[in-house]
Amino acid sequence: MSQCPVHQEAEPQAAFPIARQCPFLPPREYRAFQQHDGPSKVHMWDGKEAWLFTRYDDVRAVLADNRFSGDPSTPGFPSLSAARNAVLELEPAFIRMDPPQHGHFRRMLTKEFMVKKVSAMRPMIESIFNRLVDELLAKGPPANLVEDLFLPLTSEVIAWLLDVPREDHAFFQEQSRLKVLLDVGPEVPREASERILGYLDTLITAREQDAEKRDDLLSRLIVEQVRPGHLSHRELVIMAELLLMAGHETTANQMALGVYSFLTNPDQLARLRAEPALLRNAVEEMLRFHTIVHYNAFRVAREDVEVAGQLIRAGEGVIALISAANHDPQAFAEPDRFDITRKAGHHVAFSYGVHQCLGQPLARTELQVVFGALFERLPQLRFAVPVDEVCSKGDHFVQGLQTLPVTW
Ligand code: HEM
C-alpha cells in the first residue's frame, strides 16, 4: 500500500491504451481521470500496472523530473505493445537515454536546430513546397495530400539536411511507416529498423571518405565529433536514423491533420484567410489540438518520488500523457474546440523537459510554410470523399490520416 498520507492506493481503473470514441479527439476517459487528484492506475497489455498522469501541471511535473527515467531497459518501464517493445529493445538513440549520457549526444545537434539556423532554411522549404504544388496543379485533381504533398515535402527537407539521395526517399518513408505500427508482430518494426540502419551504415561509411569537402549535417558530425573520437561510427548511424525517422513522418502527419481541421472548421479557415497574422497561433493550435505523438512519454521512477500527492515507488511505471495535458480544461478553455485565435503556445505537443523535441523549430517552420500558402495556392481545396470516409490512423504511435483525398 502507498505510504502517502494524502491518497489511498488507487485501484486499477482501465486498460491502457484506451480507445478513442472520436478518432480526432483524445478518449473521453482522460477527462474523467483529470477530475480527481493525482494519477490513476492503469493496466497494460502485459498484465503490469502503470501510473497514468493526465493533468497538464502533473504531466509537466513528471517530464521535468529526472528522477523518472526514459530508458526502456530500466526495470519497470511500461510496455505499450509487443511491437513497441521490439523497437525499444534496439540499440538506443539519445531519445531513450537519461542524463548525463542524453545531453552528451543531444548537445552535438543543438546548433543544427537553432531557430536562426532553421530560419535560413525557410526559402529552401518554400521552394520545395511550391514545386510540389506546381506538380499537383499540373497533374490536376484529385490528389492524396499525404502521399502527393506532405510526405514528399518533409522527406525532401530532412533529406536535404542529411544529404540523402532523392531516389531513396520512398525507401525510408516506407521503413518509417513500418517502424511506428503498434498492432503488428515484433518482427515488422525490428526488420524495418534493421533495413534503415543498414542503409545509413553504408551511406555514412561512404561519407566518411570525403566529409571535409561536404557541407551537410552528417559530414559536419563526422568532422566535428567522429574524427576527434566523441562519437563512434555506430552512434552516428543510430543518431542519423533518429533524425530521419523523427524528421518527416511526424510533421507530414501533423500537416494532414491540420488540413482536416481547417476543412471541418470552415469558420477557422475563413479567419486565417482574413487574418494571415494568425498563422503562428494557428500552427500552435494544430500542434496542441492533435498532439500527434500521443504515447511518447513513458517513464519509470528511479527512486521514490511524490508527484501530485501520490508516492510513486522506485521501479513503478509512469505515463505522462501529453495528449491529455493538451486537452486539460484547466490549461486550455474548451479544449476540444479547434480555435486558431487561442494562445496555445504553452502546449506540450513537443513534450517537455530534457527530451523536448529537438526539431521543433524545423517542424514549426515547415508547418508555417504550408499553412501560410496552401489555401492560397489551392483556394477551392476540399475533401474528394465524404468527410466520414477520411480515416485516421487510429492508435498508431504517431497519429495521422491514412490518406487525405482532396480535390480543388
Ligand atoms: C509536428 C512535428 C513533430 C512533433 C509533434 C514532434 C514531437 C516530439 C516529441 C513529443 C518528442 C519527445 C519524445 C519523447 O519524449 O519520447 C520529440 C523528440 C524529438 N524530436 Fe520531434 N516532433 C516533430 C518533428 C520533429 C522534426 C522535424 C525533427 C527533426 C529531425 C524532430 C526530432 C526530434 C528529436 C531528435 C527528438 C529527441 C529529443 C531528445 O530526446 O532530446 N522532431 N519530438
Establish whether residue 92 lines the binding site of ligand 1, counting it when its CB lies within 6 angstroms of any ligand atom.
no
- Please identify which residue in the block is written with the cell numbers 509487443: 82
* Residue 212 backbone dihedrals phi, psi, to 5 degrees: -60, -25
Q: How many residues does the chain have?
A: 408
Q: Would the CB of 246 count as within 6 Å of ligand 1?
A: yes
What is the per-residue pLDDT for 245? 86
Q: Ligand 1: which of 88, 357, 360 to mutate, most ligand atoms within 8 Å of CB?
A: 357
Residue with cell 573520437: 229
Measured from the CB, is residue 359 less than 6 Å from ligand 1? yes
Q: In sequence order, what DSSP letters do the residues of 251-270 get, joined into one string?
A: HHHHHHHHHHHHHH-HHHHH
pLDDT confidence of residue 246:
87
Q: How far apart are CA 284 and CA 347, in angstroms?
A: 8
Other Cβ atoms closer than 10 A to 231: 18
Task: Give the sign of the dihedral formed by CA 251, CA 253, CA 256, CA 257.
Answer: negative
pLDDT at 143: 97
How many CA atoms lie less than 13 Å away from 307 in the CB half-sphere?
Answer: 32
d(Cα 144, Cα 108) in Å, to the nearest integer? 37
Q: What pLDDT score does 9 carry?
A: 39
The residue ranges of DSSP E strands in 44-104, in sequence order, are 49-53, 68-69
Task: Answer whether 125 contacts ligand 1 (Cβ < 6 A).
Answer: no
Peptide bond into 100 cis (omega under 30): yes
Strand-strand pairing, 40-43 and 49-53: antiparallel
Contacts of residue 33, Cβ cutoff 8 Å, sequence gap at least 6: 13, 40, 52, 54, 324
Amino acid letter, residue 77: F
Atom of ligand 1 nearest to the CA of 102: 41
Q: Give the CA angle between residues 325, 33, 396 to the nearest 5°.
A: 60
Please report, in tens digits, the pLDDT of each residue of the chain (408 residues total): 333 333 333 444 689 988 888 888 888 899 999 998 899 999 998 999 999 999 999 999 999 999 999 999 999 999 888 877 888 888 899 999 999 999 999 999 999 999 999 999 999 999 999 999 999 999 999 999 999 999 999 999 999 999 999 889 889 888 888 877 777 788 888 899 899 999 999 999 999 999 999 999 999 999 999 999 999 999 999 999 999 988 888 999 999 999 999 999 999 999 999 999 999 999 999 999 999 998 878 999 999 999 999 999 999 999 999 999 999 999 999 999 999 999 999 999 999 999 999 999 999 999 999 999 999 999 999 999 999 888 877 667 788 888 999 999
Structural domains of the chain, with CATH:
14-407 (1.10.630.10)
